[in-house]
Amino acid sequence: MYCIDVLLEEHDHITDFIKVARNACCSIIDGQPIYNDDFNKMLNFGKVYADSLHHKKEEDILFNAMIQEVGGPAEKMIRNGMLVEHDIGRLYLSELDKAMNEYLLSPSTQLKLKIITNLSAYCDLLERHIVKENQVAYPFGQKTLSTQTLQRLDDETKHFENNSQNASHREYYLNVLNELQEKYC
């Protein structure tokens, strides 16, 4: 199924991002400076690639269809689990952004800690979240949604992926990820 295949591939890229972000946090602990450009790239990868591109497809395409067609258990899993975790991830990114801006104005160990804490917490959340989606949410959707709905989701995903702005953002952030991997992995 194209829709699920795209989401799984994005999870692979997000997993690569997690490795980069953790290594960048460890470099700070090891005494390296905070390279603001790199951390801004990580922040924006989370905001754009993981959230605006990946989570948007989940929320607007797959999860929405599961809630509408399956209801009950799908709705509980999605509303009380997946969407809550998406919102917690957004909170970590918001706090990371705030800490980074404060650090630029007045660097301190406390703000370094906030940067490391929020980026690390975001990575931990994403890692657990990916396992739940890969092993539970996606297979549940594939098993319970009708063939017609699955085809519609594939078509909607293709439309989303072929949108020139989405394609441009995807290409840009995958290049950013490659650049960061060369530096931190």
CA distances from 147 to 1, 63, 94 (A): 10, 16, 39
pLDDT in tens, 114-130: 999 999 999 999 999 99
Q: What total number of domains does the chain contain?
A: 1
Query: How far is it, in rounded angstroms, from Cα 90 to Cα 50?
Result: 10
CATH number at residue 57: 1.20.120.520
pLDDT at 183 (0 to 100): 97
pLDDT at 140 (0 to 100): 97
Instruction: Please compute Rg for the chain using Cα positions.
Output: 17
Written as tens digits, the pLDDT of the chain (185 aa) is 999 999 999 999 999 999 999 999 999 999 999 999 999 999 999 999 999 999 999 999 999 999 999 999 999 999 999 999 999 999 999 999 999 999 999 999 999 999 999 999 999 999 999 999 999 999 999 999 999 999 999 999 999 999 999 999 999 999 999 999 999 99
Please give the residue range of the domain that contains residue 128: 2-184
pLDDT at 155 (0 to 100): 98
Q: Kindly report the average pLDDT of the chain as a whole number.
A: 98
Return the structure tokens found at 97.
């952004």
Q: Which residues contact 173 (CB under 8 A, 6 or more apart)?
A: 44, 45, 48, 49, 53
Return the structure tokens found at 45.
């990868």
pTM, two decimals, is: 0.97
pLDDT at 20 (0 to 100): 98
pLDDT at 96 (0 to 100): 98
CA distances from 74 to 41, 142, 157 (A): 34, 12, 20
